[in-house]
Amino acid sequence: MRLAMWSGPRNLSTAMMYAFGNRPDFHVVDEPFYGPFLRATGRADPMRDAILAARPEDGRAVQKALLGPVPDGKRHAYHKHMCQHMVPELPRDVLAGSVNVFLLRHPARVVASFLKGFPEATREDLGFDAQIALFDACCAAGQTPVVIDSHDIRRDPERALRVLCDAVGLPFDPAMLRWPAGPKPFDGIWAAHWYGSVHSSTGFAGPEGPLPRLSARAASLCAAVMPAYRAMAERRLRL
């Protein structure tokens, strides 16, 4: 199985990658389209030069590798994707060759967290519009993609992961609930900038509290992407 997990920024995406990466049957790839995305857009993300050096392939080469044999003798592959990376210049045949899962988080939480590091972030940077477009593309191709909300995972990780595994046709492995602290061999090079808190973790954080209070600009961004979030949330796995 090639399991593609499609998320936006400041979600539970790295913890989910660690959960699947702790299974002995999974090979893991961290944000494979990041380099092609930066080259296509010219964005000056943190560690841009290092990321481009670490991700030298173009989009077609990335896709070919993702759809090829699973490395290291593993039975399955887990591909952590950022929806906002999938700009029109990049190929999307990878959707047809994957079991696609869409990971949600309430926009208020995403915006409040993301603006701390990217105060000039735009609606496109949040990934919600790209996420629903990718979801619709899967549906149009006859797939039934899975949607899961990070709020539900943090509230009851074992229950959520059991339901998710069942939905995609995998046996649940308790190893998904705990992982060793520290960097992982499959981390992207950007982990030094972004993964500090998750490197100190050994499992999923507990339930989230109330939604954060937002500034006027943050509230405006949140309102802009709420329709996309709500449309996806209606399709989420019910725990």
Size (the chain), residues: 239
Nearest in space to 107 (alpha carbons), one of 195, 210, 8: 8
- Dist. CA 227–CA 131, nearest whole Å: 12
Q: What is the pLDDT of residue 220?
A: 97
Which uninterrupted H or E stretch holds 3?
strand 2-7
What are the mean pLDDT values of the chain's consecutive 10-residue runs (239 residues total)? Answer: 96 97 98 98 94 96 97 97 97 96 98 90 96 97 97 98 98 98 98 94 96 96 97 96
Q: What per-residue confidence (pLDDT) applies to 117?
A: 82
Q: According to the model, what pLDDT value does residue 118 have?
A: 84
Rg of the chain over all Cα atoms, to the nearest angstrom: 17
- What the block records as the tokens of 30 is 């961290």
What does the buried/exposed string (b/e) look like for 164-178 if buried means 16 or more CB atoms within 10 Å of the residue's CB? bbebeebeebeebee
CA trace torsion 79, 91, 49, 201 (10° rounding) = -20
Tokens of 170: 């995998």
Type of residue at 42: G
Burial of 193 (0-12, 13-18, 19+ CB in 10 A): middle
Domains and CATH numbers, the chain: 2-233 (3.40.50.300)
